[in-house]
Amino acid sequence: MSGESFARTKTLRLALFAATLGILFSLALLLKETPYTFVGFMFLGQPLLALALLLLAVEVVRDLRARGVL
Amino acid sequence: MSRALAAVFSAAVTASLAPAAPSLPRPHGWIGTTDEWARGLGIGFALLDLLLLALAWRSLRRSGPSSVSKELLFGAVAVLPLAVVFFSYSYGLEASKKVEACGSCHVMTPWVKDLRDPKSETLAAVHFKNRYIQENHCYTCHTDYGMFGTVRAKWEGLGHVYRYSTGRYELPIHIAKPYSNLRCLNCHGQSKKFLDPAKHAVEDLPDMLSGKTSCLDCHGPAHPRREQKASR
């Protein structure tokens, strides 16, 4: 695996990890609503999901640039 | 695979629709409340997303960033989380208004206990036992009306969680600012009983509306007094 490919895989894995954590925070709220699960979803779950989306977007842009589309 | 997913989804929706403690038979054709559906759909989408995330992880590990892994990633990171967040918000915001949510901090136990006590004659208990307020009793009386009232209540609620979690509060706890008459008058303001001059003299109305005279001066106490709570 080349250095660039490794970096891309790493970014995507990070996105996957952040999304998994974000979904778990959401699931905790949906399974049992308490003030803690609500705050966890608001202040940790959502930012993690946003971070995952951002990392994916970065990777998409990088991919398009590598193909000369952008 | 699609059958397994359908089974998981259906189980999640069914589980969330099951009433916790049915006290009255449901009307014919009952399909659950919006909250229950939001919860069930949220759980279903979250489980589906976790499955897609696992598949994307496996695909990425085996073949690197291939077209299959990219498609899986797009679905798991960009599409399904939107549905999960939407349903989590729908369910979470409504569930946070319930008495159980307010009573989940142990410092609130005496208030909630009094609220549910059929023998209690405090204003809160009278409203609760007679169902003058149908649901979300704490929230209804402790929230200003209008859009900003709701936003402020949520914001203050987060402050309560922070102070409770970090222990930054002093006992006995008390209401942060004087109780606004407008919260009472939102329901009672146009009632015949309130407008009856024999009950509320016309010359007293400006003071009531401005908050100079509190409804609780005559109709209180809203909750058990400090010494009553200590003896419970």
Average pLDDT for runs of 10 along chain A of length 70: 70 94 96 89 94 94 87
Instruction: Tell me the torsion sign for CA atoms A42, A45, A51, A52.
Output: negative
Q: What's the pLDDT score for residue B231?
A: 46
pLDDT at B15 over 90: no
Q: Region B78-105: what's the mean pLDDT?
A: 91
B114 touches chain A (CB under 8 A): no
* Shortest Cα–Cα distance, B14 to chain A (Å): 13
- Considering only CB atoms, which chain B residues are within 8 Å of A52? 77, 81
Using an 8 Å CB-CB cutoff, list chain A residues near B84: 23, 26, 49
At residue B143, the 3 state secondary structure works out as: coil
Q: How many Å apart are CA B22 and CA B32, to the nearest integer?
A: 12
pLDDT for B34-63, tens place per residue? 889 999 999 999 999 999 999 999 998 888
CB distance from B42 to chain A under 8 Å? Answer: yes
- Predicted confidence at residue B22, as pLDDT, reads 53
Q: Which comes out higher in pLDDT, residue B44 or B167?
A: B44
State whether B92 and A33 contact (CB < 8 Å). yes
Whole-model pTM? 0.76
Higher pLDDT: B53 or B155? It is B53
| pLDDT in the model for residue B78 | 94
Instruction: Select the more confidently predicted residue: B43 or B144.
Output: B43
Q: What pLDDT sits at residue B31? A: 86
Contact (CB, 8 A) for B34 and B87: no
| Residue/partner pairs of A53-60 with CB below 8 Å, 24 or more apart | A53/A15, A53/B77, A53/B78, A53/B81, A55/A11, A55/A12, A55/A14, A55/A15, A55/A18, A56/A12, A56/A15, A56/B73, A56/B74, A56/B77, A56/B78, A58/A11, A59/A8, A59/A11, A59/A12, A59/A15, A59/B65
User: Tokens at residue A8, please?
Assistant: 């891309």
Over pLDDT 90: what percentage of chain B? 30
In this model, does residue B18 exceed pLDDT 60?
no
Q: Residue B142: which residues within 8 A CB-CB, separation 6 or more? A: B153, B183
Q: How high is the pLDDT of residue B86?
A: 96
